[in-house]
Structure 1
Amino acid sequence: MLCLTVDTDPDGLSGKVTDRNALLWEGLEKLQQLPNELAGFGKLGRIPITWFVRADGQLESILGNPAYLLETYHTFWTDAQAFGDELGWHPHLYRQPRADDTAFLITDPIEAQQELERLWSKLKGTLHPTVFRNGEGWHLPETYATVERFGFRCDSTAIPGRVGASGHPMNWEGAPNQPYFPAADDLRKSGAKRLLLQLPMNTWLVQAPYDSAPRTRYMNPAVHQHLFAKALENWENACNVSPVDLSIWVMIFHPDEVLASRGEDALYSRSTKSLCMNLVAITKTLRRIGHEFEWVTVSEAAERWNKHQERLSA
């Protein structure tokens, strides 16, 4: 199964140089044409997308409402869901009391847990997401358990093999690159079955022009086509998954990575056409190596994976 996901972050938050204070969404506004573009791309058709929507304290303190994006683009979200897309909750746990303050990441486990609880108490009446992804790709046992307690059944935050810079809480070294139930005391390890399943943002090796060697990055169809093709070749050579196994590949990109007005980039294509061509490329590869596949939302993939595991253990 293939999943296409979008983190609806503001322009300038993704990339080699990021700006946590960024709060403009030209990329998201332009990206609202993507479902039609995909549907009109003959070899793809309508692909269900999982939109991880920002809703958090930074939007609340600077824009007046944690549900700012949900309300501003309400019509688009309604139409997208009517066509089979789904919405996920994607908070960035930042503190930024005023617009001229520097946004900083909440990393204390208890403070992060309390911030999630505070936000959920405000959002749960209007936001009904099926999946969760924490901003900047990190979790702690406390935050994971909190999301689980809210009733979520699927999380897609892990980036297997990636470790954050010094002081950053992201650490997915050794984490599985397929669905698993994280151990209670170490989210990188597979543990006993629990309510909240982890569907990682799958990783593979990609070498940007400024890299001295290939690096572990999540599967991002917004990179340049020649970089995606090389990553696909490396992935195919290293892939030891049998066609009879139930595998899930979760891809992710950000709106500004396909936004032409952001200017040329060594890694990102800034082009929705290139994104579509990369999606065609991965489907061609899967067909060539004998894998049947289907595009599904993240929650649908999680549900099917759970049922598959139940059949195996019956």
Structure 2
Amino acid sequence: MTRPKPIARLLHKVKNHAFPLFRSWPGPRAIEQPDKRIADLVQLCEDRLRAIGALGSEIAELRRSRSSLLDEVSALRSAAAPYRGPAIPVVLGVDVEPNARAVDLRDPSWDATTAFFSKTVDLRNRVRTISGAPLHITWFPRADPQVEISNGSADWALKHFEAEWRIAQLEGDEIGLHMHPWRWDEVTRGWCQDHGDEGWVLQCARSSIDAYRGAFGKTPAAYRGGDRFLSNAMVRLLEEEGVQLDLTLERMPGAARLVEAERGTGNIPDGENIPPSAYRPSSADFRVPDPDKTSGLGMLPLTAYEQETLAPWLPNIRFEEALDRLLAAAPENGLTHLAFVARSDLANIPQWEAYVDNVISLARRVREGRLVFKTASETWEYIGKSRSQPPFDESTTS
């Protein structure tokens, strides 16, 4: 059978330019033998799968080798030029949340959080082996109206993970609070992130704090607003409620939404000029330090590099470079701390490996004496003791 030339040319083009799967394709005539062609395709698929498996093993071995080499670099660096300066506290935080942002009421799963707790056991052991010091984490669980509607009660995560919280506290961790002002719309049967309604946002914060008090018998010391959202009104409320620290702020531009496809109102405030160091905020603008203020809420901005947040799940080579530059410039920049926060669903996505590598990078600097793992509250107290001056008066950090 002779095919029209245009069809033959098209098949030839697909074979040579379109998909790698067809690079070994014997040509258009194979279609005349469908059983053999199917068998050939299945064999090609199996070959590709074996090749992927081999590459995966090789990549894993290369990652282990690179990590060992970085351990040696750290040891040699410490021996050649021991660090004599003060250690900078580093806060490692986790936003404890349901798997999905716009939660499906039919499946309000927190499986990723369970995985994060499980994987943290090995991470703690690796950090202790490398640094000789414990890893202290600041957890920020949710207890807002979205959790109440999705899981049946606002304090669901506080109660459901009760055993995990006990273990965390025995490890020296801190349990703070995280809040998103999601509002359920009965008409559309969907969620709206309602930042534009100040009353609703404050109501969500109050109810979350109440749920926390009911579960733990105290006010959370540290707070994080969802999607980088904070306002002067929220700062006033947190101070009135007795919250001591905020870790919401990131050096990022303002935006309507963190995720464009989601429904929402209001805007995420611009944070491009937020200071990199700890401070107490001006009553006129929470993004501006008030050097005369010696009480009230303290701000611990997340660590930024090159005008954006230094995410702890970035590829390790980029994280290492940024970390070295930040620490080298710390004395002249007056860097008070480092702070990194990840969402609990990180445990179920490929970026988990990069996150582990980056935490290990921090652990190496702990061994060198450059860093020290602290909770949020420990970090504020540590900064206060090192400065012993406003806005870090030690008497206001207890």
Specify if TM > 0.5.
yes
Please name the residue that 2:229 is paired with: 138
5 Å-filtered alignment, 1:37-48, equals 37-41=122-126, 42-44=129-131, 45-48=133-136
Counterpart contact for 1:181–1:196, Cα < 8 Å: yes
Percent sequence identity over aligned pairs: 22
1:33 maps to 118
Aligned residue pairs, count:
286
* Structure-to-structure mapping, 1:129-278, within 5 angstroms: 129-165=220-256, 167-191=266-290, 192-193=292-293, 194-205=295-306, 216-217=308-309, 219-232=310-323, 235=326, 240-242=329-331, 247-259=336-348, 262=349, 264=350, 269-271=351-353, 274-278=354-358
**In 1: Cα distance, 2:299 partner to 2:333 partner:** 22
Q: Which has the higher helix share?
A: 2
CA distance in 2, matches of 1:12, 1:248: 31
**TM-score where L is the length of structure 1:** 0.80
Distance 1:40 1:29 in 2: 18
Give the 3 Å change call, closer, same or farther, for CA 311–255 of structure 1 in structure 2.
same
Aligned-partner SS, 2:341: strand
What's the offset of the Cα at 1:204? Answer: 1.6
CA RMSD of aligned residues (A): 2.9
- In 2, Cα distance between equivalents of 1:312 and 1:287: 30
2:205, 2:153 → 1: CA distance?
15
After TM superposition, the structure 1 stretch with the greater mean CA deviation from structure 2, 44-53 or 107-116, is 107-116
| 1:8 maps to amino acid | V
Greater gyration radius: 2
SS of equivalent to 1:160 = coil
Q: CA deviation at 1:57?
A: 0.6
Give the whole-Å Cα distance in 2 for the aligned partners of 1:100 and 1:30: 32
Structure 2 residue identity aligned to 1:303: E
Instruction: Quickly say closer, same or farther: Cα 1:46–1:98, change in 2 above 3 A.
Output: farther
Provide the rounded CA distance (Å) in 2 between the counterparts of 1:30 and 1:110: 35
Give the CA deviation at 1:285: 5.7
When normalised by structure 2's length, the TM-score is: 0.64
Other-structure match for 1:212: none
Hey, what does 2:91 align to over in structure 1? 3
Gap runs ≥5 in structure 1: 14-18, 206-214
- Alpha carbons of structure 1 residues 135 and 163: separation in structure 2 relative to 1, 3 Å: same
CA contact (8 A) 2:225 2:248 kept: yes
Q: Distance in 2 between matches of 1:134 and 1:187?
A: 13
**Structure 1 Cα separation of the partners of residues 186 and 159 of structure 2:** 21
Q: Which amino acid aligns with 1:298?
A: A
